[in-house]
Structure 1
């Protein structure tokens, strides 16, 4: 099964930065824009988005003898595009190329698996056991159903972002990149302004870092999922080379069970007792860090916990909560809940 989308909602900016004027006394930069400095950058909404979805779906259902029914479903899929195409849509990180946004969509689930089973206890009249049992015993032990559902899916995509100013400054004495101009005690300006992000785009703040080759972006401990040392600040004048939604979060696994029993009361009425056990093993399913968009701090500079472009991030430079698992998938009954148990009694007539 598959689908494709064209002319989807995708955002960008216009009135881009094309240059700047430098104040000779302070070294500060006054940016120059396409349509003049009267307006700041302008958020634009386009129909430049595309996506497609491909899947292989397998379903197997079987009813066995002695009251056992099994069902299995598996979906192997991939959703890819340059936008999610809904609501306010996303803003392209590269203001000049929508093609550079092509990557996993935020709802891309590579594998989804479901196994369900229902077993009717074979006790009572006409069943394998208890056919000749006394009525009270049949009423007590017969008519029970036990069911279970195992749900599992691959982790959802994670988009690692970085905070970057539109303009930075190069120290002419040593080549270091800093975020503010440096003026000496004699009034001499030691820095030169540089366009950091081509075209700007600070109002939308969608920037991605560079990938550090050979470094695993995942950490295997219980609290920290993403390795900050796998990323670096891009060189001034370039976009980050990390793809959109390039990482994936943790897999989700949950086992639910039900126990049910009907007690006939006459020919047309009955009571039904039902026990439902959600996430019976109390398996913790963590949500992606920072809602799926963990952001690296702007750490340009030469001081403590500051880095130069190309240097791998440290935990301190990235920010204390970067890549940290802080919440579970859901707090409600359903996929991702902690263990919850509920009982119900229903009268049908």
Structure 2
């Protein structure tokens, strides 16, 4: 009797183990299917160049993540941040402009912030600020805005820009909240108020946890009307790059389905790009293996001479050489220095 009882106990334990195992497998498949659905929906919203493909049913399971394409090559992107709030400054004007070079082989990336007020003069127009052009092209023909903006900056900096990514600033606020905030060492008190667009920046110096709105205030702060020290474009660009690095680090550590689902919804609602859907899928489904381990922030000295910003010519040349080298291009380039606000 003891032997039979013991045998029944073992069978029950085995059945319980199998049941738990099956539940875990089904849960994992549902998790994969849910994220695939979310990612595919986000990709269709982001991509501006390929027709959307039919999404799988949210209940579909067992769709494996794609492996990185063996022919994935280094690339250069133009990243633009816009403020589309009602009453926002300039509406479609790009409040942030960055040239980003990414090498998947070395898993490294470099960021060069282009001052929003950098003087740019084209052959067909008078001198304008760098943040003017995307809005200008968008108003003329939004379907060609990215292509025309890329062409302008590619020719101006003698840098072949592969893709452009346009991010609504509200994506930053929502993403930081979805990541439960960021630990930021605020360099100084920052205060600025504008009742026209609802801006109310009120940050204090020191290491602290900031929520999404506070991080947005931190990266946008330039001037003060409340008695605090003003920020240079260089310092502002450094803050933006610091925040991007920390967001990438926190995203790489995400494991919860709800967090990833929320992030994918935010990306889909607030990001537009001409990156092909195939590459977007590689990036989203293989984020942990493609995320750069080494991120370099490139520096340019800048000077304000109303109404434009001017950068040091040698700094610009060196930064462009670094971007080119990381993308596997010849370091030597011939920027149109005569059309860019530069100083010797």
The TM-score, its normalising length taken from structure 2, stands at 0.21
TM-score (norm 1): 0.21
Structure of higher CA gyration radius: 1
